Amino acid sequence: MKARSQPETARQRPRRLLLCLDGVPFELIAMARKRGLFARFHRPTRLLSPFPTMTNIALSLMFDESAPLGYESLYFDRRSGALAGGARKYIGRRTPDKIPSSYMRLLDYQEPLACEFLVYVAPDRVVHADFERFRRRFQQTVPGKDFFAFLKGVDGMLHICGSQALLRALEKLDQLLEEMCKREGDRTEIFLFSDHGMNLVENRRVHVRTHLERHGYRVVSRLRARRDVCIPAFGLCGYVAIYCDANEKAKIAAHMAELEGVDFSLYADGDELALVGPRGRARIRARRSDIGSASYRYEAEEDDPLELLDTARRMRQCGQLGADGYAEDATWYRWTAEHTYPDALANLYGSIFEPRVVNTADVLVSLRDGYYYGSSLFSRIVRLLATHGNALLPSSSAFLMSTHREFPPHMRIAGARWRLHGV
Ligand SMILES: [Zn+2]
C-alpha cells in the first residue's frame, strides 16, 4: 500500500526563507535596487499595509493569526475600562503574556527583547548584530527546513537615523543574502518583505492631550466619567487611538480636526464610517451581496477629504460605479491601490469595523506626514527622522519580493496570506 503522502508542497517545493525587515518601505527597496542591491530578486511588489500601519496588525493579518490586544504593547482594555500592558513587556524573557499575537510563535528568529530599546542607543551595532545572529541561527537549522526571521532593528534605525543609514545597512544584508544564495542555490526560495512602510521626513509631536484638556476632557488611565478619555501613548507613530464615551465620539473627532498635524478622524456611526478632518467630512458605506462580496460608497459631505471625487467621476465614465454610488471592493481596489490614500474605502472602513485588534479605538486618528503622537518620555530622547502609522501612501507601502517568482505590482497584505507550509 502507498504510504500516506505528506503535504506535497513540503517535499516538492524548495525550502523557504521568510525574511521580514520591519518598517522598510517600498520606496527604499526600489532605491536599493537602483543601486544594484538585491539583484537576484524579482521585481518587488507594493504590499499594502492596513491602517494603522503598525507591525502587529500587519503580521497577524498576513499570517492569518490572532488579532493583537491593541495597536501597541500599551493598550486600552475594554473589559477593565483602563490602560494595560506597556513597558513591562520589555523586562525579562518573552513569556506568553508578552506575545501580542500568535504569529510570533511562527518565528524561528527575532532579536532579543532588550535590543528593541538598545537600537535607539547604538543603532549600527544593534542592526549588524541582528543580521549576524540571524545568519548563525539559519546556518544551525536542519537543512531543508523552512525558516522565518523577523529583523526588527531596521525599524528603529530608520526612525532615528533616516534612510541613508538604512541603505548602508542594506548593503551588508545584501552581501549576507548573496552568500546564502551562492551556498543554497535554487534549493531555497527567499521571500524578502516588510510589514509596513515609513515616511522619510522629520516628524514632530502632536499635542493631543493638551488640546482635548482645553476642550474640557480629562485624559485618564481608567474611564469613569462621560468626559474622560484614554489615549495610549507609546511608540512615536502617525496615528492616535482614542477611547471615550460613545456619546462623545463625534464631538472629539470635530475637536481633533482643529489640531495641527491631524489629517482625519474615523468613528462608527451605526454601520457607517464617519470621517472628519480639517479638509472636510465624508462617509463610507458598505454593503454585502448574497455571495458575501463587499461594495463601498464614498459620500463627500463637505469638500473631498480623501481626494476621491475625481476618481469616482472617472469610474462612473467607465461604467464602473453604479448609479447609487456603490462599486465592488475589487473595482475600488483597482482604481485606488496607488492613490494618496491607498485602497482607502476598504482599508479605512475595516480599521473600525474589522477586528484588526481586539480593543478597537472609538475614534481612530490618522496624522499627516511630519507629525506623530506617542510617549512624551521617548520624544524627549529621540529626534524622529521617519515614522509610520498613518493611512498615507508612504506608511502603507511595505514590499515583498522573491528569488523564485514575480508578484503583481501591488497586493493587499491580507492577500499575501501564503503560509510557511503552503503552496
Ligand atoms: Zn516603527
The CA-atom distances, in angstroms, between 319 and each of 304, 313, 326, 330, 360 are 22, 10, 11, 14, 36
Query: Could you give phi then psi for residue 199, rounded to 5 degrees?
Result: -85, 145
Angle value at C-alpha 22, between 393 and 123, nearest 5 degrees: 115
Average pLDDT over residues 105-122: 82
- Beta strands 262-269 and 371-372 are unpaired
Average pLDDT over residues 254-264: 98
Residue 295 CA, ligand 1 centroid: distance in Å: 32
Grid cell 538598545 in the structure block, residue? 118
Q: Reply yes or no on whether the pLDDT at 221 is more than 80.
A: yes
Residue 154 CA, ligand 1 centroid: distance in Å: 9
Q: Reply yes or no on whether the pLDDT at 5 is more than 50.
A: no
Query: Could you give phi then psi for residue 174, rounded to 5 degrees?
Result: -60, -45
Confidence of residue 11 (pLDDT cuts 50, 70, 90): low
Residue 158 CA, ligand 1 centroid: distance in Å: 8
Q: Reply yes or no on whether the pLDDT at 9 is more than 60.
A: no
Residue 387 CA, ligand 1 centroid: distance in Å: 6
Q: Which of 61, 7, 74, 82 is nearest to 355 (CA)?
A: 61
Q: What sign for the dihedral angle of Cα 373, 374, 377, 380?
A: negative
pLDDT in tens, 34-63: 999 999 999 999 999 999 999 999 999 999
Confidence of residue 144 (pLDDT cuts 50, 70, 90): confident
Residue 225 CA, ligand 1 centroid: distance in Å: 33
Distance CA(261)–CA(368), nearest Å, equals 5
Q: Reply yes or no on whether the pLDDT at 246 is more than 60.
A: yes
The architecture CATH gives domain 13-66+101-200+389-416? 3-Layer(aba) Sandwich (3.40)
Compute the mean pLDDT over every residue in the chain, rounded to the nearest whole number: 91
pLDDT in tens, 54-89: 999 999 999 988 999 999 989 999 999 999 988 665
Distance CA(343)–CA(29), nearest Å, equals 21
Point out which residues pair with 190 in neighbouring strands.
17
- At residue 1, the pLDDT reads 37
Residue 177 CA, ligand 1 centroid: distance in Å: 24
Residue 229 CA, ligand 1 centroid: distance in Å: 25
Q: Reply yes or no on whether the pLDDT at 285 is more than 50.
A: yes
Average pLDDT over residues 218-241: 97
Q: Reply yes or no on whether the pLDDT at 116 is more than 90.
A: no
Residue 174 CA, ligand 1 centroid: distance in Å: 22
Please state, for a pLDDT cut of 70, what percent of the chain lies above it: 93
Confidence of residue 96 (pLDDT cuts 50, 70, 90): low
Point out which residues pair with 228 in neighbouring strands.
218
- At residue 78, the pLDDT reads 96
Residue 90 CA, ligand 1 centroid: distance in Å: 16
Q: Reply yes or no on whether the pLDDT at 107 is more than 60.
A: yes
> Do 149 and 134 form a contact (C-beta atoms < 8 A)?
yes
Q: Reply yes or no on whether the pLDDT at 370 is more than 60.
A: yes
- Beta strands 74-77 and 326-328 are unpaired
Cell numbers for 388, please give them: 509610520
Residue 113 CA, ligand 1 centroid: distance in Å: 15
Q: Which of 2, 16, 150 is nearest to 420 (CA)?
A: 16
Q: Reply yes or no on whether the pLDDT at 269 is more than 50.
A: yes
* Global pTM value: 0.93
Sorted by where each begins, the domain ranges of the chain are 13-66+101-200+389-416, 204-381
Residue 115 CA, ligand 1 centroid: distance in Å: 13
Distance CA(129)–CA(135), nearest Å, equals 10
Residue 156 CA, ligand 1 centroid: distance in Å: 6
Residue 116 vs residue 38, higher pLDDT: 38
Q: Which of 42-51, 144-153, 335-344, 393-402 has the lowest mean pLDDT?
A: 144-153
pLDDT in tens, 347-360: 999 999 999 999 99
Residue 24 CA, ligand 1 centroid: distance in Å: 9
- At residue 205, the pLDDT reads 94
